[in-house]
Amino acid sequence: MRHTTLIALLTLVIATSPLANADETCNSPYIAKLIKGQEDYVYVWTLGVEGIGDGSDKLVTVDVNPKSKRYGKVIHSVPTGSRVEAHHMGFTDDRRHLWAGGLADNRIWVFDIATDPAKPRIVQTISDLGEKSGWLGPHTYYAMPGRMLVQALSNTQDKGGRTGMALYNNKGKFIASYAMPTENGGDGYGYDLAVNPRKNVLLTSSFTGYANYMRPIGELMKDGEAMKKFGATMAVWDLKAMKAGKVFSVPGAPLEIRWSLNPKDDWAITAAALTSKLWLIKQEGKEWVAKEVGTIGDPSKIPLPVDISITRDGKGLWVNTFMDGKTRYFDLSNPEAPKQTYEKATGKQVNMISQSWDGKRVYITSSLLANWDKGGADNEQFLRGFAWDGKELSHRFEVDFTKQKLGRAHHMKLGSNALRTAAPKK
Amino acid sequence: MSDSGRLQPAVRAIVLLAVLAWAPVGGAHEGGPLAEPDFIPPAPGTYTLHRIMAAPDGRVLGIDGRQQPLSRYTRGQITLLGFIYTTCTDPEGCPLAYRVFDSLKKAIVATPALHGKVRLVTLSFDPVRDSPDVMQQYAGSRAVENEAGLRWYFLTTGSARELMPLVEGFGQDVRITFDRSDGRARRELSHVLKVFLIDRVGDVREIYTSTFLYPRLVPNDIETLLMEEGLKQSRISVKN
């Protein structure tokens, strides 16, 4: 029947209800397919460790649906065959593919997560980032309509912090590159990016280059000159024109950028890693401004806030601090004055934090960078799942990535069987 | 460039905005006001629209039932192409695309400089239901109008096999879903609305999505492409 043929050929998914317009709180606004209910999987982009398992970076799929018999278990793993400081990943706008890369290399692996969300597979390896743009160490993968905007951390020439962004189409073809601003106060460093299309604004933050992030942290911190080579700026770009505008002084390496998802809001928040401060970026009149609005822990002890996750209503913010292994919750009802209302030690070292759309489930991983993770017994490597009732984080499951010979658990993305598509017929 | 030459785009933009703001929407495709961006778009020609990808080619059917290559409708003029299916009821989906195209049509007709340089293409991704006859009904009089050299083509395909390369080539995601909100399973083709701006040689230069499809941005992009083609001077002389 023609109708049956259509269904087979259109790479269609059978779902019980349409998914709505937004994402699980921290992704590009151009990603239209949401998991508003229970997610089925957490994909963990994992750094390989020499001598542990196959030693390769890999994408690990963990079943996180409490109704599943495999709840809390690793159900799939895709090694890349390389070990290149696997770090972050991001969905394409149609959420059919997941792009992932490493900071020690310029390759980007493209995983098909739609044909079988339980079993991602590598369908493409993009390897021309350095050749085409001169950048090194792809970090953020931000979906644009039909395209992916990739923020790098370094460059191939001197492996310092001067870097930029590269634009690819969803098929992996390089389109253009954009250097981070070095004028009007810009320091040329890059880290994260996030857009507010309604305001035509792209925000970027800044970290450091390969020469620093690949060094053992103890050695690095003793090198005064090297410690000066960290980003201390954020930039507001004209998104449509992709031109940098105002540059803010935000000392101490501002990292992840989160726009409030509340449609009435037009502000973003970030955490500066080295100064342990929260910064608000907002429009006052016609001017964009950056304000220091809060402190995370005791900055003198360098708790190192490394990841943040904003709630879907823009009223709350999770902050993970690597050094003290704590997960903190800030009330953002007044974004000008965030107020910490909860904290819990969730590991001996904690890095990334992700939450479900409804905020009831929180996932935490352990690894920051291979040479920055702690040693000995403090070098826990895990994915931990928690339930959040608004008052308490309750432990639900744990995957020990060392015991299971997987590696260092880093970035997470959520998956769902509702996003499955049938494979096109040959 | 003369001072008067620099003023022309601004004047034209005002005309376009006025037309877009007041353009009524038609019949079954009516809806609330179209979304407006909360910013002043960069001026035409001050930014680059990169070549994102080549528009795919394949066989399509016009409302007369004749089979043609899609490239017949994506080359030679600047093209705005959007996928729809005629039974779509999502107000943020196909009806929005129709209304945006309707507004753009009026804006283009009101701008002599754009006459003969732009076309609109609406392509169905439901070849089972959307036959050429159905597409003709959907289009109404718009399918045959040729006001100020602007044509709006309503196309479909003969089969899913012919459609697939186009859907995949454009990266237009589509899934079958069943809306059970009223207790019955109603089949829908769930998709993220995308409108593709294609230049005269057939390269996709911009992709507008449902959440951020602001009609007032599109004329600037068209003008940017025309300026890139070196047609600005001739356009100004037409306007004058």
CA distance B152 to chain A (A): 24
Closest CA to B167 of B53, B58, B86: B58
Choice between A267 and B142, residue whose per-residue pLDDT is larger: A267
State the pLDDT at residue A220: 95
pLDDT in tens, B156-186: 999 989 999 999 999 988 776 666 666 766 6
Task: Return the percentage of chain A with pLDDT > 90, whole number.
Answer: 90
Q: Is the pLDDT of residue B41 over 80?
A: yes
Residue A185 confidence (pLDDT): 96
Put simply, whether B154 touches A (Cβ < 8 Å) is no
For the stretch A284-343, pLDDT in tens is: 998 999 999 999 999 999 999 999 999 999 999 999 999 999 999 999 999 999 999 999
Q: Which residues 6+ apart lie within 8 Å of A8 measured at CB?
A: A422, A425, B160
Split at pLDDT 50, 70, 90, the class of A424 is very low
Instruction: Please list every residue in chain B whose beta carbon sits closer than 8 Å to the beta carbon of residue A96.
Output: 173
**For residues A342, A39, A30 and B165, what is the CA-based torsion angle, rounded to 10 degrees?**
170
Given an 8 Å threshold on Cβ–Cβ distance, is A11 in contact with B128? no
The residue with tokens 């080619």 is B57
Nearest to B41 by CA among B53, B49, B33: B49
Interface check for A197 against chain B (CB to CB < 8 A): the answer is: yes
Average pLDDT estimate for A204-217 = 97
| B189 φψ region: left (φ > 0), alpha (ψ -120 to 50), beta (else) | beta
Spatial contact of A362 and A353, defined as CB atoms under 8 Å apart: yes
User: What pLDDT digit, counting tens, does each position of A126-176 carry?
Assistant: 999 999 999 999 999 999 999 999 999 999 999 999 999 999 999 999 999
More confident residue, B37 or A332: A332
Which of residues A416 and B37 earns the better pLDDT score?
A416
pLDDT at B12: 42
Pick the residue from chain A with its C-alpha nearest to B51: A175
Residue of B nearest to A28 (CA): B211
User: In chain A, what percentage of residues exceed pLDDT 70?
Assistant: 93
Q: Closest-CA residue in chain B for A29?
A: B211
Reported pTM: 0.90
Does the pLDDT of residue B3 top 70, yes or no?
Answer: no
Closest CA to A117 of A426, A386, A422: A422
Across chain B, where does the E strand assignment appear? 53-54, 59-61, 67-69, 78-84, 118-124, 151-155, 174-179, 186-191, 194-198, 203-209
Contact present, A203 and A234 (Cβ < 8 Å): yes
3-state secondary structure of A225: helix
Q: Which residue of A has its CA nearest to B46?
A: A241
Please state, in angstroms and as integers, the Cα–Cα distance from residue A243 to each residue in A91, A141, A169, A179, A267, following that order: 24, 19, 19, 10, 20
Instruction: Enumerate the residues of chain A whose CB falls inside 8 A of the CB of residue B167.
Output: 10
* DSSP classification of residue B7: H
**Least Cα separation, residue A375 to chain B (angstroms):** 46
Rounded to an integer, the average pLDDT of A91-96 is 94
pLDDT band for position B32 (cuts 50, 70, 90): low
- What is the Cα–Cα distance from A211 to A132, expressed in whole angstroms? 21
pLDDT computed for residue A304 by the predictor:
97
B176 and A167 within 8 Å at the Cβ level: the answer is no
Instruction: Identify the bridge partners of residue A42 per DSSP, sorted by sequence position.
Output: A62, A414
A residues 12-31 closer than 8 Å to B (CB): 12-19, 21, 29-30
Residue with tokens 């998709």: B191
Q: Is there a contact between A145 and B208 if contact means CB atoms under 8 Å apart?
A: yes
DSSP per residue over B110-130, as a string? T-GGGTTTEEEEEEES-TTT-
Q: Which residues of A touch B171 (CB under 8 A)?
A: 94, 146, 170-171
In tens, the pLDDT along A356-389 reads 999 999 999 999 999 999 999 999 999 999 999 9
Q: Does B41 touch chain A (CB under 8 A)?
A: yes
Q: Of B93-97, B145-149, B205-209, which range is least confident?
A: B93-97
Q: How many CB atoms lie within 10 A of CB A311?
A: 21
Helix (H, G, I), strand (E, B) or coil at A51: coil
When pLDDT is averaged across residues A111-125 and rounded to a whole number, the result is 97
Is residue A15 within 8 Å of B190, Cβ to Cβ? Answer: yes
| B160 to A5: CB separation less than 8 angstroms, yes or no | yes
Q: From B81, B38, B42, select the one nearest B58 (Cα to Cα).
A: B81
- CB count, 10 Å around CB of A177? 16
Residue in A5, A147, A421 closest to B52 by CB: A147
pLDDT in tens, A218-258: 999 999 999 999 999 999 999 999 999 999 999 999 999 99
Of the listed ranges A74-78, A390-394, B9-13, the least confidently predicted one is B9-13
Angle between helices B232-239 and B3-22 (to 10 degrees): 70
What is the average per-residue pLDDT within B103-126?
A: 90
The number of residues making up chain A comes to 426
pLDDT band for position B144 (cuts 50, 70, 90): confident
Look at residues A400, A360, A412 and name the one whose alpha carbon lies nearest to residue A37: A360
A257 and A192 in contact (C-beta within 8 Å)?
yes
Q: Say if B178 is an interface residue toward chain A (CB within 8 Å).
A: yes
Task: Examine the pLDDT at A13 and tell me if it is beyond 70.
Answer: no
* A241·B210 Cβ contact <8 A: no
Q: Residue B177 and residue A21: Cβ atoms within 8 Å?
A: no
Q: Interior CA angle at A176 toward A186 and A232, to 5°? A: 20
CA distance A279 to A296: 11
The pLDDT value given to residue B30:
54
| pLDDT attached to residue A7 | 39
Contact B38 A199 (CB under 8 A): yes
Is the Cβ of B48 closer than 8 Å to some Cβ of chain A? yes
pLDDT class for A207, splitting at 50, 70, 90? very high
Q: Are A61 and A41 in contact (CB under 8 A)?
A: yes
Q: Looking at the DSSP assignment, which residues form a beta bridge with residue A408?
A: A47
Q: Exposed, middle or buried by CB within 10 Å (0-12, 13-18, 19+), for B20?
A: buried
Banded pLDDT at A17 (limits 50, 70, 90): very low
pLDDT for position B235 = 43
Is A241 in contact with B46 (Cβ distance < 8 A)?
yes
- Confidence band for B201, pLDDT divided at 50, 70 and 90: very high
For residue A407, what pLDDT band results from cuts at 50, 70 and 90? very high
From the CA of B147, how many Å to the nearest CA of chain A?
31
Percent of chain B predicted with pLDDT > 70: 74
Q: What CA–CA distance (Å, rounded) separates A39 from A396?
A: 15
The verdict on B127 touching A (C-beta cutoff 8 Å) is yes
Helix (H, G, I), strand (E, B) or coil at A267: strand
**B181 contacts on A by Cβ (under 8 Å):** 17
Question: Would you state the structure tokens that stand for residue B151, as one six-digit string?
Answer: 């044509």
End-to-end C-alpha distance for chain A, whole angstroms? 18
State the best of B52, B53, B162, B207 to mutate against chain A, taking most chain A CBs within 10 Å. B52
Per-residue model confidence (pLDDT) at position B31: 60
Residues near A224 by Cβ (< 8 Å), separated by ≥ 6?
A: none
Ordered DSSP codes for A348-359: SS---EEE-TTS
Is the pLDDT reported for residue B21 higher than 50? no
Q: What is the mean pLDDT of residues B127-143?
A: 92
Nearest to B179 among A9, A18, A199 (CB): A18
Pick the closest to residue B106 from B9, B223, B28, B19 (CA basis). Answer: B19
The label of the residue with tokens 């913010």 reads A317
Distance CA B76, CA B201 (A): 6
3-state secondary structure of A197: helix
The pLDDT of residue A18 is above 90: no
B183 vs B137 pLDDT, higher one: B137
For chain B, the average pLDDT equals 80
How far apart, in whole angstroms, are the C-alpha atoms of residue B72 and residue B127?
19
- Determine contact: A242 vs chain B, CB below 8 A: yes
Per CB-CB distance under 8 Å, the chain B contacts of A145 are 194, 207-209
The CA-to-CA distance between both ends of chain B, in Å, stands at 15
Place B1 in a pLDDT band, splitting at 50, 70 and 90: very low
Place of tokens 């609406």: B122
> Residues of B numbered 64-93 whose beta carbons fall under 8 angstroms of chain A's beta carbons: which are they?
92
pLDDT band for position B232 (50/70/90)?
very low
* Nearest chain B CA: its distance from A15 CA (Å): 5
Residues A159, A136 contacting (CB under 8 angstroms): yes
**For the residues A395-408, what does the mean pLDDT come to?**
98
CA distance A300 to A217: 17
- CA A18 to CA A32: how far, in whole Å? 11
Q: Which residues of chain A neighbour B37 with C-beta distances below 8 Å?
A: 198, 200
B106 neighbors B19 (Cβ within 8 angstroms): yes
